[in-house]
Amino acid sequence: MSTTKAWLYGPQYELGETEVHHTEITNLLTRAAEFRMPPAPELWGWGNVRRAERSLEVMAADSAATTLRAAGADPSSVDAVVLCSTRIPGPSEAHGRFMETFLAEAGLGDIPFYGQNLNRCVNLLAAIDTATAFVAAGRHRRVLVVTTDSAADEADRMVSYALFSDGAASCLIAAADEIDALTDGGYEILGCATAQDRQTLDHSHEISADLARTVNDRLLTPLGMKLDDVAGLMHANIFKPVVVMKERQAGFTPEQLHTDNITRVGHCFAADPLINLVDRAALGEIEPGRHYMLAAGVPGQRIGVLIRKAHHG
In the predicted structure, residue 125 carries a pLDDT above the cut 90:
yes
Whether the predicted model's global pTM rises above the 0.95 cut: yes
Distances (CA, A) of 264 to 63, 155, 261, 311: 19, 20, 5, 30
Those residues with Cβ within 8 angstroms of residue 33's Cβ, 6 or more apart along the chain or in another chain: none
Residues 222-279 pLDDT 10s: 999 999 999 999 999 999 999 999 999 999 999 999 999 999 999 999 999 999 999 9
What whole-number distance in Å separates Cα of residue 91 and Cα of residue 199? Answer: 29
Q: What is the DSSP letter of 21?
A: E
Q: Which of 250, 253, 309 is nearest to 285 (CA)?
A: 309
The domains found in the chain, sorted by start residue, are 6-181 (3.40.47.10), 189-309 (3.40.47.10)
What mean pLDDT do residues 119-135 have? 97
Residues 32-77 pLDDT 10s: 999 999 999 999 999 999 999 999 999 999 999 999 999 999 999 9
Average pLDDT, the chain: 95
